[in-house]
Structure 1
Amino acid sequence: MSTTTASGSRTDPRSQSPSGSVAETLRRVPAQLWVAYGLVLACLLLLAVSSEGGLTLPRLLRILSNAAPLGVVAIAQTIVIVNRGIDLSVGPVMNTAAILTALLSASPGARPLTTTVLVVLAGGGIGLLTGLLLAFTKIPPLLGTLATATVIQGVYSLATRGQPRGSVPDGLRDLADGRVLGSPASASLLVWLGLLVAVGAVLARTVAGQRFYAVGANPRAARLSGVPVRAHTVAAYCASGALAAVAGILLVAYSGSPSLTAADPYTLNSVVAAVIGGAALAGGTGSMTGTFAGVAVLALLTTVLNSFSVPSPVQLVVNGAVLVAMLLLNSRLTRSRRR
C-alpha cells in the first residue's frame, strides 16, 4: 500500500520504515553508550593480540563469568547513582554476605536456598537502614555510606574476631564451578545477566523506574510533581544492599571461604563500571546496558594487564585514571547535549 505526499509523489512505507526506524533508534543512543562499547571493542582487540591464545568465545565467556560478582554489585551501584546517590558500603555488605553465607551453611540442616534468602534479606536490611538515614537527614550520601561501611566493617570484625569461620556447600559452589550445558559460561553469569535484564526492564519500562530517574535529575521538581522522593531513596539503597549481598554470595562461591577484605576493591570498581557505562554521579542518567559495558571493560582490561604482567598497584592506577577520564568525558558530553 502506497501513500501520497504533499508534493503528489507516491511512497511505499515498507521501503521507508525499517531504515528510518533503525536510523532514529541509533540517533537516540546516548553518546556515552557509544564510548562505552567503543572501549569494549578496544579491549577485545587488545586481548586478541596480547596473548598467544588470542580471543575465543570460550575464553570470553570465562572472563565474563569471573566478572559476575562485579556485574551484580555494579547493578546495585547504578541504581543508587541514577537516584543521585552513591553507595560506598557495597564492599562491606559483600563481605558480610560472604561471612554469613559460610556461617549459616555450616549449621546443621542448612539448605543453600534458605541460606541465600536469609543473606539477601540481611543485605536488604542493611540497605534499608542506610536509605532511612539518608532520606530523613541531610547527610550527603558520600559521607553517610562511608560511615555505614565503617560501622559494618567494625561489626563483622568484632563478631568474627578477625577469623571468619564456616564453609561453602557444593550447592553454592556450583554457581561458580557449574557450567551451563557444558559451555564455559558459569551459572553465576546467568544470574548476573538475569538480574541485569530484570532491573533494566524495571528502570526503563515501569513508572516506578522512571521516577528514579526523575528523582535523580531534579529531586525538588520530582517532589513538587508528587513523586515520593524519600521512598525512592530508601528503595534504591534497599535494592543496593540486597544486590550487594547476592554479589557477596557469588564471590564466596568462587573463593570457597569467607574473608574480611575480599570485596573491598569492588566498591571503587562498581562506581568505575557505572561511570564507564554512562551513569552520571549528578544523578538522572544511567542504564543497565551501559553498566554491562562498564563491567566488560574492567574485566577485559584486567585480563589484558595481567597478560602483560602489570603489578596490581599499577592496575589500580589505571582503573582510577579510567574513572577520571570517563567523568570528564561524560560531563562534557552531557553539557554539549543540553546546548
Structure 2
Amino acid sequence: MTALDSPPLRTDRPRSGFGSALGRVPTSLWVAYGLTLACLILLGVSTSDGFNPDRLLRILSNAAPLGVVAIAQTIVIINRGLDLSVGPVMNSAAILTAVLSAAPGASLATTVPLVVLMGAAIGLVNGVLLAFTRIPPLLGTLATATIIGGVNALVTRGQPRGIVPDELRVLADGRLFGTPFSASLVIWIVLLVIVGLILTGTVAGRRFKAVGANPRASWLSGVPVRRHTLVAYTASGTLAAMAGILLIAYSGSPSLTAGDSYALNSVVAAVIGGAALAGGTGGMVGTFAGVAALAFLTTVLNSFNIPSPVQFIVNGGVLIGMLLINGRLSARRGAR
C-alpha cells in the first residue's frame, strides 16, 4: 500500500455536551453512584416510607458529622496519607465544646473558634510528625489517636461534663428559613463545594493531587511536598473538630467514645467515593456519594435491628470490596 492509497488519518474531534460529560466521569465514581443507588433502593423496599423526601433529607442531615469528617479523610488520602486520629479529635472537640459552653459568659462566638483551633493544632502535629519522619501515616496517626484518647480520659477522669447550649442544638434540629434542609446539612454541603472547588478549580488544588500521585516527581520538580503534607493534616484536624461540634449537637452530651467509629467509616466513605489509598485520586462528589451510601445502608440495617458489631463487619466488607474494585481499575489504567 502506497502513501497515495493509504487510508486517511483519523482525526477525533472532542466530544461536547452530555456525552463529553459522561466520558469525563471516572469509572470509580460510577461504582460509587451505583452503590449509593443500590442502598437507596434497598432502603425504599425495606421500609414503608423509604422514598419519602423528608426522610431522605433527615437521613442525610444525621450523616452530616460523617460527611464533614469524610471530607477530612479524603483530603489526607489524596495526599497519600491516612488519618486514624479523626475519631478521637471529634471526641476532644465535643468534650471541649461542652466544657467551654458551661463557663460563665460563654458564647458560641468564642467556643467554636477555640475548638476548631484545637483541631487544627492536633492536625498540624500529625503533619509535622509525618512530614519530617519516616513513620507511616497509619502508625503515626494511630499513635496520636491513642494519645488523644488517653488525654481525653485523663482530663475528664472518665466522666465528660458540660452542657450543650440550645444555639448549638439548632445545628441538628433547626431548619433554614422554613425549608426541610437542616443547618448541619447545609454546612456539610458548603464545605463540600468549597473544598471541591479548591481541588479541581485552582492550580494549588491540582498540584495537591499531583503531589499525592507522585511525591518524588513533585519534589524533583521543586514542589514543597512537606508543606502539602502539613496542609493536608492541618485541614483534616480542623474539619474533624468541626465534625465533633456537629456530633455533640446531635448527641446532646459529650462522650469519650462517640467519635471512634468515624475513623473507619470516613475511610470507607472516601474509598467508596473513588479515593485511592495510593494517593492522587479522589473528589468531593464521590465522597458525598460514599457518605450517602453508608447513611442509607446504616438506616436499612437499623430497620432490621442489626446489632452494631455486625454493622462494623458489613462496613469492613464494603471497604474490602471497594479496595478490590479500585485496585482492579488502577491495574486496567496502568495496562493501557
Q: Shift in Å at residue 21 of structure 1?
A: 2.7
Question: 2:16 aligns to what SS in structure 1?
Answer: helix
Query: 2:251 matched to 1:258?
Result: no
Identify the match of residue 85 of structure 2 among 86, 89, 93: 89
Question: 2:126 aligns to what SS in structure 1?
Answer: helix
Query: 2:222 matched to 1:218?
Result: no
Match of 2:305 in 1: 309
Match of 2:176 in 1: 180
How many pairs were matched up? 323
1:92-129 Cα shifts (integer Å, max 9, x gaps) = 00000000000001101111121001100110000001
Q: Is the 8 A contact 1:104 1:115 kept in 2?
A: yes
1-side partners of 2:131 and 2:16: how far apart?
Answer: 44
Q: TM (normalized to structure 1)?
A: 0.93
Match of 1:6 in 2: none
Deviates more, 1:274-283 or 1:53-62: 53-62
Question: 1:260 aligns to what SS in structure 2?
Answer: coil
Match of 2:205 in 1: 209
Match of 1:7 in 2: none
2-side partners of 1:163 and 1:206: how far apart?
Answer: 45
Question: 1:324 aligns to what SS in structure 2?
Answer: helix
Q: Shift in Å at residue 183 of structure 1?
A: 3.3
Match of 1:13 in 2: none
Q: Is the 8 A contact 1:58 1:183 kept in 2?
A: no
Supply the AA of the counterpart residue of 1:162: G
Match of 1:229 in 2: 225
Map 1:136-147; keep pairs closer than 5 Å: 136-147=132-143
2-side partners of 1:267 and 1:285: how far apart?
Answer: 19
Supply the AA of the counterpart residue of 1:187: A
Query: 2:18 matched to 1:22?
Result: yes
Match of 1:156 in 2: 152
2-side partners of 1:108 and 1:309: how far apart?
Answer: 43
2-side partners of 1:292 and 1:143: how far apart?
Answer: 27
Query: 2:190 matched to 1:168?
Result: no
Q: Is the 8 A contact 1:200 1:288 kept in 2?
A: yes
Identify the match of residue 266 of structure 2 among 267, 270, 275: 270
Match of 2:236 in 1: 240
Supply the AA of the counterpart residue of 1:140: P
Match of 1:297 in 2: 293
Q: TM (normalized to structure 2)?
A: 0.94
Query: 2:191 matched to 1:195?
Result: yes
1-side partners of 2:218 and 2:58: how far apart?
Answer: 43
Coordinate RMSD, CA, aligned: 1.2
Map 1:124-143; keep pairs closer than 5 Å: 124-143=120-139
2-side partners of 1:333 and 1:280: how far apart?
Answer: 10
2-side partners of 1:119 and 1:282: how far apart?
Answer: 31
1-side partners of 2:257 and 2:180: how far apart?
Answer: 28
1-side partners of 2:211 and 2:225: how far apart?
Answer: 6
2-side partners of 1:20 and 1:145: how far apart?
Answer: 44
Supply the AA of the counterpart residue of 1:179: R
Identify the match of residue 75 of structure 2 among 76, 79, 84: 79
Q: Shift in Å at residue 70 of structure 1?
A: 0.0
1-side partners of 2:48 and 2:149: how far apart?
Answer: 42
Q: Is the 8 A contact 1:64 1:189 kept in 2?
A: yes
Q: Shift in Å at residue 208 of structure 1?
A: 1.4
Q: Shift in Å at residue 72 of structure 1?
A: 0.1
2-side partners of 1:209 and 1:226: how far apart?
Answer: 16
2-side partners of 1:79 and 1:308: how far apart?
Answer: 34
2-side partners of 1:251 and 1:191: how far apart?
Answer: 13
2-side partners of 1:121 and 1:271: how far apart?
Answer: 23
